[in-house]
Amino acid sequence: MSSCSGGSKLPKDWPRDILYLLSPSYSNALTDEAHKFIFLSKLNLPSNTEVRRVSGPHTNVKITPISDTFHPAHGQFGLFAGQHLSPDTLILPYLGYVHGKADTDENSDYDLSLDRDHALGVDASKMGNEARFINDYRSISANPNAEFRDISIDIGKGLVEKRIGVFVLSAGKSGKRAKGIAKGEEILVSYGKGFWTERLKPKE
């Protein structure tokens, strides 16, 4: 795990009690099968796989306190575009604690699925990067402007690591989203209906 907390490389408005990550943190309880799924030889990738290199802090985004009292996440933070972002651009990876079913925190509001078949998640509740501040579009905008997609990251020695990336939505067949995300616009995804139904359940 590569991390920095308190160093000069922290993004503006980064909370003191959350560890800022430059790469994922892995649970010691991950199975061999999970490791094989996450870490792959470049030689075994389909030829059309885009292998990427990314590193934080991410200057294309801004962590911003939500001061608008009509915003449903008022008093919290959101992630905003620091520059124009074109359709289909990778904005940043979603980093956090990569874990299996055995160490899932059922109460986390920052746990994103990495792979359903292997029951793998990325939980950014205690550690993560700027992506943990992305809000859901509901009650903020008519539609999301970004989405999560699988990405392959070059980690050297001929290996790649599977992660989740946040992408600007594609322009769409009719080109209605061709403008992408404007500088200063909030980056919004859909958490999926499941997130909100879980939240509405009484806590045990």
Ligand X SMILES: C[S@@+](CC[C@H](N)C(=O)[O-])C[C@H]1O[C@@H](n2cnc3c(N)ncnc32)[C@H](O)[C@@H]1O
Q: Which residues bind ligand X (CB under 6 A)?
A: 72-73, 76-77, 109-110, 132-133, 135-136, 138-140
- Shortest distance in whole angstroms from residue 137 CB to ligand X: 6
Nearer to ligand X, 34 or 131 (CB): 131
- Shortest distance in whole angstroms from residue 16 CB to ligand X: 14
SS (H, E, C) 48-79: CCCEECCCCCCCCEEEEECCCCCCCCCCCEEE
Q: What is the DSSP letter of 181?
A: B
Nearer to ligand X, 118 or 138 (CB): 138
- Shortest distance in whole angstroms from residue 90 CB to ligand X: 19
Nearer to ligand X, 77 or 80 (CB): 77
Q: Is the peptide bond before 202 cis (omega within 30 degrees of 0)?
A: no
Nearer to ligand X, 63 or 168 (CB): 63
In a 3-state reduction of DSSP, which class is residue 38?
helix
- Shortest distance in whole angstroms from residue 110 CB to ligand X: 5
**Going by C-beta distance under 8 Å and a sequence separation of 6 or more, which residues neighbour residue 111?**
96, 104, 105, 121, 122, 123, 124, 125
